[in-house]
Chains A and B, each alone.
Chain A
Amino acid sequence: MRHILAVLVENQPGVLTRVAGLFSRRGYNIESLAVGQTHDPNVSRMTIVADGDDQVIEQVVKQLDKLVDVIEVRDITDDEHVDRELMLIKVKAEPVVRGEIMQIVDIFRARIVDIGQSTLIIECTGDEGKIKAIEKSLKPFGILELVRTGKIAMVRGPKYEEE
Chain B
Amino acid sequence: MKLTGAEIIVKALEEEGVDIIFGYPGGAVIPLYDKLYDSSIKHILVRHEQAAAHAADGYARATGRPGVVIATSGPGATNLVTGIATACMDSIPMVAFTGQVALPAIGRDSFQEADITGITLPVVKHSYLVRDVNKLACTIRSAFHLATTGRPGPVLIDLPKDIQTTLAEYSYPKQISFRGYHVPGEPEAAQIYQAVKAIGLSRQPVIYAGGGVISSGAADDLQKLAEKACIPVTTTLMGKGSIPEDHPLSLGMLGMHGTVCANYAISHSDLVIAVGARFDDRVTGSLDTFAPHAKVVHIDIDIAEIGKNVHVDYPLNGDVKMVLQELLPRVEVPQTERWLQQIASWKKDYPLSYTQDGDEIKPQYVIEQICELSKGEAVITTEVGQNQMWAAQYYKVMKPRCFISSGGLGTMGFGLPAAVGAQLGLPNELVVNVSGDGSFQMNLQELATIVQFQLPVKIAILNNGYLGMVRQWQELFHNKRYSQTELLPVPDLVKLAAAYGIKGLRAHRPEDVRPVLEQAFNHPGPVIIDFVVSQDENVYPMVPPGGSLTKMMGGAGK
- Interface membership of A71, Cβ < 8 A: yes
Asked if A21 contacts B122 (CB within 8 A), the reply is yes
Contact flags B109-128 to A (C-beta < 8 A → 1, else 0): 00000000110011001100
Asked if B118 contacts A9 (CB within 8 A), the reply is no
Q: How many of A's residues come within 8 Å of B, CB to CB?
A: 21
A68 and B125 alpha carbons, distance in the complex (Å):
8
Asked if B146 contacts A68 (CB within 8 A), the reply is yes
The answer to whether residues A67 and B304 also contact, given A14-B117, A17-B121 and a CB cut-off of 8 A, is no
- Interface membership of A137, Cβ < 8 A: no
Asked if B118 contacts A17 (CB within 8 A), the reply is yes
In the complex, what residues of B have CB within 8 A of residue A18's CB? Answer: 121
In the complex, what residues of A have CB within 8 A of residue B129's CB? Answer: 13-14
Contact flags A14-30 to B (C-beta < 8 A → 1, else 0): 10011001000100000
A12 and B42 alpha carbons, distance in the complex (Å):
35
In the complex, what residues of B have CB within 8 A of residue A62's CB? Answer: 303-304
- Interface membership of A125, Cβ < 8 A: no
Of A17, A25, A68, which is within 8 A of B180 by CB? A68
Of B178, B302, B307, which is within 8 A of A58 by CB? B307
- Interface membership of B348, Cβ < 8 A: no
A66 and B304 alpha carbons, distance in the complex (Å):
8
In the complex, what residues of B have CB within 8 A of residue A66's CB? Answer: 302, 304
Give min CB distance, B202 to chain A, whole Å: 25
In the complex, what residues of B have CB within 8 A of residue A65's CB? Answer: 303-304
In the complex, what residues of B have CB within 8 A of residue A13's CB? Answer: 129
Of A9, A21, A59, A71, which is within 8 A of B304 by CB? A59
- Interface membership of A119, Cβ < 8 A: no
Asked if B121 contacts A68 (CB within 8 A), the reply is no
In the complex, what residues of A have CB within 8 A of residue B180's CB? Answer: 9-10, 67-72
In the complex, what residues of A have CB within 8 A of residue B303's CB? Answer: 62, 65
Contact flags A116-145 to B (C-beta < 8 A → 1, else 0): 000000000000000000000000000000
Give min CB distance, B555 to chain A, whole Å: 33
Asked if A55 contacts B307 (CB within 8 A), the reply is yes
Interface residues of A in 32-56 (CB under 8 A from B): 55
In the complex, what residues of A have CB within 8 A of residue B37's CB? Answer: none
The chain A residue with its CB closest to the CB of B117 is A14
In the complex, what residues of A have CB within 8 A of residue B179's CB? Answer: 10, 71
- Interface membership of B338, Cβ < 8 A: no
- Interface membership of A63, Cβ < 8 A: yes
A18 and B123 alpha carbons, distance in the complex (Å):
11
In the complex, what residues of B have CB within 8 A of residue A68's CB? Answer: 125-126, 146, 178, 180-181
The chain A residue with its CB closest to the CB of B155 is A68
- Interface membership of B308, Cβ < 8 A: yes
Of A9, A25, A55, A58, which is within 8 A of B122 by CB? A25
A17 and B122 alpha carbons, distance in the complex (Å):
10
A71 and B178 alpha carbons, distance in the complex (Å):
9
Contact flags A90-115 to B (C-beta < 8 A → 1, else 0): 00000000000000000000000000
Asked if B308 contacts A59 (CB within 8 A), the reply is yes
Give min CB distance, A134 to chain B, whole Å: 38
A67 and B118 alpha carbons, distance in the complex (Å):
15
A67 and B303 alpha carbons, distance in the complex (Å):
13
The chain B residue with its CB closest to the CB of A66 is B304
Interface residues of B in 272-292 (CB under 8 A from A): none
Give min CB distance, B340 to chain A, whole Å: 35
Give min CB distance, A10 to chain B, whole Å: 6
In the complex, what residues of A have CB within 8 A of residue B121's CB? Answer: 17-18, 21
A70 and B181 alpha carbons, distance in the complex (Å):
8
Give min CB distance, A74 to chain B, whole Å: 14
Residue from A9, A10, A66, A69 whose CB has the most chain B CB atoms within 10 Å: A66
Give min CB distance, B91 to chain A, whole Å: 12
The chain A residue with its CB closest to the CB of B131 is A13
A66 and B126 alpha carbons, distance in the complex (Å):
10
In the complex, what residues of B have CB within 8 A of residue A21's CB? Answer: 121-122
The chain A residue with its CB closest to the CB of B302 is A66
A65 and B178 alpha carbons, distance in the complex (Å):
13
Give min CB distance, B228 to chain A, whole Å: 32
Contact flags B289-319 to A (C-beta < 8 A → 1, else 0): 0000000000000111001100000000000
A–B complex contacts, Cβ < 8 Å, 16 sampled: A10-B179, A10-B180, A14-B129, A17-B121, A18-B121, A21-B122, A25-B122, A59-B307, A59-B308, A62-B303, A62-B304, A65-B303, A66-B302, A66-B304, A68-B125, A69-B180
9 additional contacts (CB under 8 A) given A17-B121, A68-B125: A21-B121, A55-B307, A62-B304, A65-B304, A68-B126, A68-B180, A68-B181, A69-B180, A71-B179
Interface set of B (CB-CB < 8 Å, partner A): 117-118, 121-122, 125-126, 129, 146, 178-181, 302-304, 307-308
Q: Considering the complex of A and B, which 7 residue pairs feature the smallest CB-CB distances, nearest first?
A: A62-B304, A71-B180, A68-B126, A71-B179, A68-B181, A70-B180, A25-B122
